[in-house]
Structure 1
Amino acid sequence: MSIDQAKKLQPRASVPAEVIRGPFDPGGQPSLERDHPLHVSLFAWNVRSGLAATKAVLTDEGRYADQWAWPASRELLRTAERVGFDSQLQYGMWSGYGGATNWNGAGLDFATGAAASAAVTDRLGLFTTVHVGYDFHPLLVAKLTAATDHVSGGRLGVNIVAAYDLADYAQFGFGFGTERDPDADERGITRSSAERYAMADEFCTLLKYLWTSAEPVDFEGKYFQAYGAQVNPRPTSSPRPLLMSAASSDLGIDFAARQCDAIFIAGLQSGGHDSDAVKASYATTAAKVRAAAASHDRQVRICGMCFVVMDETDEKAAATMAWLEQEIDVAAVQNLYSRYRGVPSEALDAQVNENWVRNLGLGISGRQIVGSYETVANELADLYEAGVEHVAMCFWDPARSVEAFGTHVMPLLKERGLRH
């Protein structure tokens, strides 16, 4: 049966998609207004050990590593909501990085984690993470996310990742070819960064059509096709859920500026740089991203990712951080990097250095914030002054730290005008 014949069997006629690539915002962009000047997210709560590749988690796995497991994660989310966090953001994983800690080797997936979060919270915003590149069709993602947004009363946002992980490609049945291997076989992945972002661009366009169109849609792109496609219920969020992405390369910034509403940026780590240099690096990138969005008549929310180790004093927090560094699971960090780079981990020995391992193993190159509650508040204020409006924080010792953040840090942020 041809596509035209199949379409005649559908109960309603479909409308052709006139746009394939962004910028595309049917009905306009969602509101980027925030309840507080600095929006605060709990990040990476849904995967084993979060952003911490350290053998320190093995001293009490239930407390440090398995915060993702239900019902512990249920209570963590409820605590985050109670103490004033604005949202949670799931880290998207399909496999972990091994090592002695089995770093990220277990966790709640993008669909189950988001739906479960919706059911056990009332106010908390829910950001889930979806990978483009493993042949997930936008119709599937549109259906799952629209239903979750409906269940949550319009609290869902979607973080888009242009998939890159070669081990995960293999899990989905693809070969290991990359742009470094142009002779990959017919099932090999030969997608360059440009092609991955082109796929993500089409993916988001069709996703937006499906979220917003009252009529079935025909979409004929290079990477995705759909005929008579529709979802019902459509999202409760109006005109649609927020789209989020992380961007560092020019390609990534171009894609995110055209299609997404909230964009993660990175700056210098504090180690080896004074605070003014760190702030300046974030401010420069934030201005670049905003300018890219403005060139498409769009606005964006600037976001930052942080790994937080905090205690009553700077000295106590520094001692904990020193312990975490001493126990870093180097094998797991090497596995992560080898999958990013597409080379065997044993070939990385010559590339390993202390700062590289520290930055990847404790925060995956996000901003490391280590210190007292006052120090944490001050560093978050620095990020805000640099243009970061939304921080996604992964905490060492999650249950204790989320409670302490609400008790000690939130009032300090209020004093600094960052919370109402």
Structure 2
Amino acid sequence: MSATHRVEFIGFLSHREASEARPGDGPLVDKAFLGACARAQEHAGFDRALIAYHSTAPDGLQVAAQAAQETRRLGLLVAHRPGVIAPTVAARQFATFDHFSDGRAAINIISGGDAAEQRRDGDFLDHDERYARTDEYLDVLKHAWRSREPFDFEGRYYRVKEHFAQVQPLQAHLPIYFSGSSPAALKVAGRHADVFMMWGEPLAGIAEQIAAVRAAAARHGRAGAVRFSLSVRPILGATEAEAWARAERVRDAVRTRLGSARPAGGMPQNTGSQRLLEFAARGEVLDSCLWTGITALTGASSGAAASTGIGGNSTALVGTPEQVADALVAYHRLGVDTFLVRGFDLLADALQYGSELLPRVRGKIPASIPAAALAPF
């Protein structure tokens, strides 16, 4: 592990050009767009790019493999849902991909927060059981990555006899990014997460989550081992007024895009979306420039993601590049060293972030942070 680690930026890759504010056009699997978007993010200075998971979407690991062929440096963070395939199979898939991508693979574990979405892939466990299963899943996954001899595993959800994988990750440690805000999720994060991913909440909410995860990690002898990531949707303008005018145009486009797909009333099932809605109810602008307008409009729901691209990651930082950079630095002071910044126009926004936002943030944040605060990378 390196003694120092600079701030990390994660982008977002999709199999087609679409977002909450933009209908998908062209083929569902658009190799040209994916390649352009991956190369743009590499050029813009992103460290990694996330490939999301949804039960109706093209396979994320294959999307990541295509993106790896289009780039040389960009890391690929692939969202993966435990329970869909056996952990031993997933271990071999990700280890193989790590070799073909020259050590650029990382995994984002998402246990799932919507029962209807889970059932589409044949998963009928309840919320807390899904996280209990994830705990076992990660035990088996990590054993498969590290074991030099056949091993057995006996658990409630998985039973393995004399498993041995010839292929293991090229990296000494394949980073595990973890998502989930419920008490059941925090327990698993404390045991397994290298990076805990959070949606864009106000500073007080992020401080609360960081404290909870650190406490959970300390119970497993991992105090200081978990890093923290924040996911936000920056909306930039040359002036503050221009940025807010652009935000209103985004809201109008999302409203049009939703149409009859606008989520019905009622709270979403996952805790992270519930938290975002609670914050949105407190005001449309929180802290210096955290905007909840899209959150309130969509209900912070992932239920319509298949047709509209809408998910819980809906809060935006609105302002000039300098204002948004200052807002990100405020999160860094709380312990966040990774930022997932995704726009409402994937390609154009990524290039803008690379020229106007990422350099500013890196210039404001010290080049290193204490090694004790870092996960293996």
Same structural fold, with TM-score higher than 0.5 when normalized by the shorter chain: yes
CA pair 359-304 structure 1, distance change in 2 beyond 3 A: farther
User: Is the alpha carbon distance of 1:331 and 1:204 closer, same or farther for their aligned partners in structure 2, counting shifts above 3 Å?
Assistant: farther
Cα RMSD (Å) = 3.0
- Residues 162, 377 of structure 1: alpha-carbon distance in 2 compared, 3 angstrom cutoff: same
Which residue does the alignment assign to 2:374?
none
Q: Return the match for 1:115 from 55, 65, 71.
A: 65
Aligned pairs for 1:78-227 (under 5 A) are 78-95=39-56, 107-134=57-84, 136-173=85-122, 189=124, 191-227=125-161
Identity of aligned residues (%): 25
Give the match's secondary structure for 1:334: coil
Q: In 2, are the aligned partners of 1:246 and 1:264 still within 8 Å (CA)?
A: yes
Which runs of no fewer than 5 residues in structure 2 stay unpaired? 271-280, 282-291, 302-309, 369-377
Work out which of the residue numbers 315, 325, 336 in structure 2 matches 1:377.
Answer: 325
- Counterparts of 1:286 and 1:131, CA distance in 2: 23
TM-score for both structures, normalised by structure 2: 0.79
Superposition pairs for residues 11-410 of structure 1, below 5 Å? 31=1, 35-36=5-6, 38-43=7-12, 45-46=14-15, 49-50=18-19, 52=20, 54=21, 57-58=22-23, 61-62=24-25, 69-95=30-56, 107-134=57-84, 136-173=85-122, 189=124, 191-238=125-172, 240-266=173-199, 268=201, 278-298=202-222, 299-327=225-253, 328=255, 329=258, 331-334=260-263, 340=269, 356-358=296-298, 360=300, 364-410=312-358
Unpaired runs of at least 5, structure 1: 1-30, 96-106, 175-188, 269-277, 342-351
Kept in 1, the 8 Å contact 2:235–2:319? The answer is yes
User: When the two structures are superposed, what TM-score results if normalisation uses the length of structure 1?
Assistant: 0.72
Please identify, of 354-363 and 76-85, the stretch whose mean Cα deviation from structure 2 is larger.
354-363
- DSSP-derived class of the 1:303 partner: strand
Residues of 2 paired with 1:200 and 1:290: CA distance?
A: 19
Paired residues for 1:401-420 under 5 Å? 401-417=349-365
Deviation at 1:336, TM superposition (A): 11
Question: For residues 121 and 233 of structure 1, what CA distance do their matches in structure 2 show?
Answer: 23
Shift of 1:117: 2.2
Number of residue pairs aligned between Structure 1 and Structure 2: 334
Secondary structure at the aligned position of 2:300 is classed as: helix
Assess, with a 3 A threshold, how the Cα gap between structure 1 residues 34 and 304 changes in structure 2: closer, same or farther: farther
Q: Which has the larger radius of gyration?
A: 1
